[in-house]
Amino acid sequence: MKSIAPLLIAVGLVFGPGYFYLFEYVSGEPAETHVLLERAKRWELPDGAILRLRSGLAYKPVALEMSPEANRHRLRFTFDVKPRDDVPSGIHNTYQVSLLQGDTTIFERSIEVKDTGKVTKTLDPFEIFFPGSYFLLLEEIGTPPLGVTSVKFELLSRAEKPRMWVAWSGLVLLGFGLVLVLRDFLGKARMR
């Protein structure tokens, strides 16, 4: 009975939290990659509309062709933050990510960048319901205290949805393994 507990814990970790993390945060096929360099307070979109920003600057909007057949989509950003030795704790850059179709916002999230060097942020998967041209806008909220030289942006498509019965089964196995370890530990403690 003692040898089965580590096996249950290992299998439970792989099929519980490991499986869920892989499918919810890592899965997806690279569809497009762009490097964002230019920033401004206003941008002209391809349809002639002028996009004005209320606070801070925004990177040049990126046009993306997306369709529901490639659902679920995920956005991954890699910020190249200038290294600094004098970065006080609590200092971070805040960004707002918006996905627009025409003048309608389809998806909106906030990102905080706290570290220096290459910092990667992956957003939760989302679905779109209509094929067409979308615009991704990455906007700085306020003046960023950390210097960013460039931002690499990846659109991942066909991100898998985890099958929750697999994740829950893994958690049950993990729980049984931990109960067996606890039972063996308490049994040895009583014998002393």
- Joined tokens for residue 40: 């401004």
Same domain, 74 and 166: no
pLDDT recorded at residue 2? 53
What is the Cα–Cα distance from 40 to 59, expressed in whole angstroms? 7
Quote the number of domains for the chain: 2
Beta-carbon count within 10 A of 184 CB:
13
Helices (H) and strands (E) counted in the chain, each on its own, are 3, 12
92 in the same domain as 66: yes
Bridge partners (DSSP) of residue 109 are 97
Are residues 124 and 146 located together in one domain of the fold? yes
What are φ and ψ of residue 153, in 5° steps? -120, 130
Q: Are strands 58-59 and 93-101 parallel, antiparallel or unpaired?
A: unpaired
Same domain, 47 and 114: yes
Q: What is the pLDDT of residues 59-93, one digit of tens each?
A: 999 999 999 998 888 899 999 988 766 667 778 88
* Cis? peptide before 109, omega within 30° of 0: no
Residue 87's pLDDT is 64
- CB 36, CB 43: distance < 8 Å: no
* Residue-wise DSSP of 153-190: EEEEE-PPPP-HHHHHHHHHHHHHHHHHHHHHHHHHHH
Taking the model in full, what pTM does it have?
0.72
Per the CB < 8 A criterion, the answer to whether 135 and 100 are in contact is yes
Provide the pLDDT for residue 131: 92
pLDDT tens digits for 125-161? 889 999 999 999 999 988 888 888 889 999 988 877 7
What percent of the chain has pLDDT above 70? 95
**CATH code of the domain covering residue 124:** 2.60.120.380
Same domain, 37 and 9: no
Pair 9, 86 in one domain: no
Average pLDDT score over the chain: 84
Judgement on whether residues 9 and 73 belong to the same structural domain of the protein = no
Q: Provide the pLDDT for residue 1.
A: 46
Q: Are residues 119 and 129 in the same domain?
A: yes
Torsion of CA 150, 57, 48, 33, to 10 degrees: 20
Residue ranges making up the domain that contains 9: 1-27+161-192
Which tokens hold the place of 169? 């089964």
Query: 119 and 63, same structural domain?
Result: yes
**123 phi/psi in degrees, rounded to 5:** -90, 160
